[in-house]
Chain A
Amino acid sequence: MTRASMLSLALFVALLALWEGFVRLTGISPLVIPAPSAVLIVLWEGLTVGFLWPHVWVTAVETLLGFALGCAIGFVAGVLLGEVDFLRRLLWPYVLASQVVPKLALGPIFIVWFGFGMTSTIVITALICFFPLLENTLTGLQSVPPEKRDLFRMLGASRRQTLLRLKIPSGLPVIMAGVRVAIVLALVGAVVGEFIGGDAGLGASIIAAQGMMDSTLMFALFIVITALGMLFYQLTILFERWLLSSWMKGKET
């Protein structure tokens, strides 16, 4: 363990101790700020007794399905707009406008269309993941150095070959940066989507805990959501490393 990571762990412990001490000394209501020890007890019960797990499952499924759907559509749309100039000029203003609309504001109409529950949340999540993938795919495909395009022309490569063997692999690091943004946004999308129209999941549980004035449970849920987000992010990083493994070779400098 490096010195810096040891210090950062020490800081974390110190902050927790400070928080615990503050709550105990002032006797502040747990409705406002619960003690860390109380939060951990609720978290532990939730995980061992098991009432948290179905909600974790629902949110995880919503996040991943929405993420996969949004990334897939965003990537395909990015390739289409990147390859067909006419489409890009035709559709770009609409794509941009659709992204300026706050997606969560569309939540209520999605509930009308898709009903309460997972479908609405997945659609919102997908919509949020769509744009970073679209934009990064477009940027990635267009960032190929002109000399490499000329090289593929000299070699008599077809348009499809130039796309599959030059543009997409060449843009992959930029595209994967979009995927990393998308996975973080996906969890936010799923949780907030549940605020609006969920009947299960971690976001819906936060609303339920608020209804019961149970702030301790809310804090426990924050921890679960954070852990889930970090897990997803780390998995994305691992996937990226695997995908870009040959890209990375010789990039020690």
Chain B
Amino acid sequence: MPNSPNFLDIHAASFAYGGGGDVVSNVGWSIPAGALHCLVGRSGCGKTTLLKMAAGLLQPTAGSVQMLGKDVAAPSRNVGFVFQSPSLLEWRTVLDNVLLPISLHQTVIQADRTAAEELLELVGIKEHTNRYPRQLSGGQQSRVALARALITEPAGLLMDEPFAALDAITREELQDDLLQLATIRNTTVLFVTHDIGEAVYLADRVAVMDAGRIVFSADIDLPRPRNQTQRYSTAFNAACLDLRHAMTPTRRAVA
């Protein structure tokens, strides 16, 4: 389908907070529908700001951001956003939290409840449906947040270091769940992380950001479906090393 629009098109976009310098500077990036792209960078490199521009939470001060061929003027309900913290409502049950995107706009019907329960089963926490967020572990809370982002069956997911606070094993499990869900539903994903291994494991294509610019990008040609043993393969490690070098361009000569 050569004419189908990309999920996301960012053209020469910049962003500056009132009075300050550019946090994001002249960035161009496109994500075809169904792809999984990772944006890697150190803290404060502007990757979260870029993600918020893609979400419509921030408006670019220059350039444009288009989603499915239309300018992003405000947050769209066609994308799910997963935050750094699970951001669940502690006073509502897991089921109510997953249904929140629906219950804000219409009466929840039985079909919605069934869909939510199916999602909770897919992310492996069906038995916690009627519990409260504080009764769950960090990994389980992240799973609820993922289910909540997917309940409206959005075309795309924007994810801001959603697994950064989890332990290594839980993080790997969630990465696998994310890959599986994105494949089942053909969901486009833009995933922001500071973890090189996570980026290589998840992505079709990665971009490295530094000081508000995209300084490096590469396709990751590892076979799919991915599995955790690939992490120890030569190709995987070579891809990681490339990214590592791209993240520290000035020290490259020294190393």
Contact B55 A154 (CB under 8 A): yes
- CA–CA, A39 and B92, complex, Å: 51
Q: How many A-B residue pairs have CB under 8 A?
A: 60
Contact B104 A156 (CB under 8 A): yes
CB < 8 Å: which of B52, B81, B132 contacts A249?
B132
Contact B55 A251 (CB under 8 A): no
Give the secondary structure class of A's interface.
Answer: helix
Contact B105 A156 (CB under 8 A): yes
Contact A169 B91 (CB under 8 A): yes
- CA–CA, A155 and B85, complex, Å: 16
Contact B131 A155 (CB under 8 A): no
Query: Which of A154, A172, A246 neighbours the largest number of chain B CB atoms within 10 Å of its CB?
Result: A154
Question: Residues of B contacting A156 with CB < 8 Å?
Answer: 75, 77, 104-105
Tell yes or no: B237 within 8 A of A by CB.
Answer: no
- Please name the residue on chain B nearest to A156 by beta carbon: B77
Question: Residues of A contacting B87 with CB < 8 Å?
Answer: 145, 147-148, 151
- CA–CA, A192 and B185, complex, Å: 68
Contact B83 A155 (CB under 8 A): no
Tell yes or no: A157 within 8 A of B by CB.
Answer: yes
Contact A147 B84 (CB under 8 A): yes
Contact B81 A154 (CB under 8 A): yes
CB < 8 Å: which of A155, A170, A246, A250 contacts B77?
A155
Contact A246 B91 (CB under 8 A): yes
Question: Residues of B contacting A165 with CB < 8 Å?
Answer: 89, 104
**B75-133 CB contacts (< 8 Å) to partner A:** 75, 77, 79-81, 83-85, 87, 89-93, 100-101, 104-105, 131-133
Q: Interface 1/0s, chain A 144-188, versus B by CB < 8 A?
A: 010110111111110001000110011010000000000000000
CB < 8 Å: which of A161, A172, A249 contacts B135?
A249
Contact A157 B104 (CB under 8 A): yes
- CA–CA, A249 and B92, complex, Å: 10
- Please name the residue on chain A nearest to B86 by beta carbon: A147
Tell yes or no: A92 within 8 A of B by CB.
Answer: no
CB < 8 Å: which of B81, B92, B105, B136 contacts A250?
B136
Question: Residues of B contacting A161 with CB < 8 Å?
Answer: 104
Question: Residues of B contacting A157 with CB < 8 Å?
Answer: 104
Tell yes or no: B33 within 8 A of A by CB.
Answer: no
- CA–CA, A150 and B79, complex, Å: 13
Question: Residues of A contacting B133 with CB < 8 Å?
Answer: 250
Question: Residues of A contacting B81 with CB < 8 Å?
Answer: 150-151, 154
- Please name the residue on chain A nearest to B160 by beta carbon: A147
Tell yes or no: B134 within 8 A of A by CB.
Answer: yes
**Smallest distance from the beta carbon of B99 to chain A beta carbons, Å?**
11
For the A-B complex with A249-B134, A250-B136 known, give 10 more contacts whose Cβ atoms are closer than 8 Å.
Answer: A151-B81, A151-B83, A153-B75, A154-B55, A154-B80, A155-B101, A165-B104, A249-B131, A249-B135, A250-B135
Q: List 8 A-B pairs, minimum CB-CB distance, nearest first.
A: A250-B135, A250-B134, A249-B132, A147-B83, A154-B81, A154-B75, A147-B87, A246-B91
- A residues whose Cβ falls under 8 Å from a Cβ of B: 145, 147-148, 150-157, 161, 165-166, 169-170, 172, 244, 246-247, 249-251
18 sample A-B contacts, Cβ–Cβ < 8 Å, listed by A number:
A147-B83, A147-B84, A150-B81, A152-B104, A153-B75, A154-B79, A154-B80, A154-B81, A155-B75, A156-B77, A156-B105, A165-B89, A165-B104, A246-B91, A246-B92, A247-B90, A250-B134, A251-B134
